[in-house]
Amino acid sequence: MADTSSYDLVVIGGGPAGYAGAIRAGQLGKKVACVEMERAGGTCLNWGCIPSKALLKSAELYQKMLHADDFGFNVGSIDVDFPKVVERSRSVANQMAKGIEFLFKKNKVDYIVGQAQINVPGMVELISGDRKGEYLSTKNILIATGCRARMLPGLTKDGKQVMTAREILDRRDLPKSCIVMGAGAIGMEFAYFLNAFGSDVTVVEMMDRVLPVEDDDVSKFVEKSFKKQGLKVMTGTKAENITVADGKVTLDAMTGDKTEKLEAESLLVAIGVQANTDKLLSNRVKLEMHRNYVKVDAHYRTSVKGIYAAGDIIGPPWLAHVATYEAVQAVNGMFDHGEPRPYVRFPGCTYCQPQVASIGMTERDVKAKELKYKVGKFPFTASGKAVAAMESEGFVKLIVSEPEGEILGAHITGAEATELIAEYALGMELEATWEEIHGTIHAHPTLSEALMEAAAATHNEAIHI
β-pairing, 32-36 with 147-149?
unpaired
Q: From CA 25, how far away is CA 330, in angstroms rounded?
A: 10
Q: How many other C-beta atoms can be found within 10 angstroms of the C-beta atom of residue 459?
A: 15
Q: In what order do the strands lie in the sheet with 232-234?
A: 162-163, 266-269, 177-181, 200-204, 232-234
Q: Is 312 annotated as a binding residue?
A: yes
Alpha helices in 297-404 (DSSP H): 320-334, 363-368, 384-388
Q: Is 188 annotated as a binding residue?
A: yes
Q: Is 360 annotated as a binding residue?
A: no
Q: From CA 39, how far away is CA 260, in angstroms rounded?
A: 42
Q: Is 305 annotated as a binding residue?
A: no
Residue 300 has phi, psi (to 5 degrees) of 65, 25
Active site residue 438: no
Q: Is 427 annotated as a binding residue?
A: no
Q: From CA 420, how far away is CA 118, in angstroms rounded?
A: 42
Centroid of chain to Cα 390: 27
Q: Is 183 annotated as a binding residue?
A: yes
- Which among 74, 20, 73 is positioned nearest to 300, based on CA atoms? 20
Alpha helices in 229-352 (DSSP H): 320-334
Backbone φ/ψ region at 351: left (φ over 0), alpha (ψ -120 to 50), beta: alpha
Q: Is 272 annotated as a binding residue?
A: yes
Q: Is 270 annotated as a binding residue?
A: no
Q: Is 76 annotated as a binding residue?
A: no
Non-local (6+) Cβ contacts of 246 within 8 A are: none
Asked if 38 and 109 touch (Cβ cutoff 8 Å), the reply is no
Q: How many other C-beta atoms can be found within 10 angstroms of the C-beta atom of residue 297?
A: 10
Q: Is 57 annotated as a binding residue?
A: no
Among residues 321, 337, 411, 444, the one annotated as catalytic is: 444
- As annotated, the active-site residues are 444
Residue numbering of the annotated binding site for FAD = 53, 312
Residue numbering of the annotated binding site for NAD(+) = 182-189, 205, 272
Residue numbering of the annotated binding site = 53, 182-189, 205, 272, 312
